[in-house]
Amino acid sequence: MKKRPFLMASLTIAGVFIFFLLVVFTSGIFRNGSVIVSISDKIGILEVEGPIADATLLLAQIKEFRDQDNIKAVVARIDSPGGGVAPSQEIYAELKLLAAEKTLVVSIGSVAASGGYYLAVAAERIFANPGSLTGSIGVIMSFPNYRELMGKVGVQTEVVKSGRFKDIGSATRPFTAADRILLQGVIDDVHQQFVEAVSDGRHMPVDRLQPFVDGRVFTGRQAKEIGLIDELGTLNDAIKYAAKVAGIDEDSDLVYPEPEKTNMIERYLQGAVSRYLGINLIEKRITGPQYFWDGY
């Protein structure tokens, strides 16, 4: 009899704990818009925003979606003018792996141009608004030249190099004809890689794509007419389509990746300094050839 209060208390605590677990596993715990624990079918939302300078975060987020069995489909919301060639290709390759295992649909926001469109062609279906901008299938490299300015202020640069092309692109000497031929070959090869990815993703022969791969942008409506996208529609339309193909309820919960963690200094730079100076002091610099639309 003396042990009964202790037994009742233990059973009560155990009951509360089991009830809590049931709540967690049936409805999920939400934090920062993300479902942390859930056993029901979900749709992952991958957000690609701004210039693509570093693939690290997106690669981790894509892998996270691949590894979660309850995420049956992923919708990539792209709002990007593109960026570096290498990070764009890394993300594209990971998206292709994801698409081989789960339904992958793209929704284009304001713009998915150049590298942004490169990512889009990894999906089985691309949605865009009629006024979205996309395309810009091309490559660009630019090199500033400060030689005349340096001459005016009396600054000279002495270069010692192992070969005539070692300082190609230098801001302190003019381009030579040989420089231009060499770099044009690099640009042409990287451009061909882009065209081949579009041809594969859109199931269009390269010769049919040729009139549209000179760097020009298209509206969503124009892109649909020539086959660069599949549907005119919103993010919600893309989500409904993804759910239908995956065979789950269109009202299934949406899962967003955990937001990137920033320290106090980064938050300050992103906030106060960026707001008052009008620049992003911690934005990564894009170097090398770029799948980038300069009109962004």
3-class DSSP assignment, residue 243:
helix
Catalytic residue, from 63, 161, 166, 284: name it: 166
CA 145 → CA 113, 149, 170, 179, 202, distances in Å?
Answer: 27, 9, 7, 14, 39
Taking alpha carbons only, the member of 127, 137, 157 closest to residue 85 is 137
Rg (Cα) of the chain, in Å, rounded? 25
CA 135 → CA 112, 139, 274, distances in Å?
Answer: 7, 12, 30
Tokens of residue 17, six digits:
């704990």
With vertex at residue 229, the alpha carbon angle to CA 211 and CA 237, rounded to the nearest 5 degrees, is 165
User: Can you tell me the distance from the alpha carbon of 1 to that of 51, in angstroms, rounded to the nearest whole number?
Assistant: 71
Tokens 């801001």 sit at which residue?
Answer: 171
3-class DSSP assignment, residue 282:
coil
Q: Which residues pair with 78 in a beta bridge?
A: 48, 108
Taking alpha carbons only, the member of 135, 142, 65 closest to residue 105 is 65
Q: Is 252 a catalytic residue?
A: no
Catalytic residue, from 114, 132, 136, 252: name it: 114
Q: Is 27 a catalytic residue?
A: no
The residues that are catalytic are: 114, 166
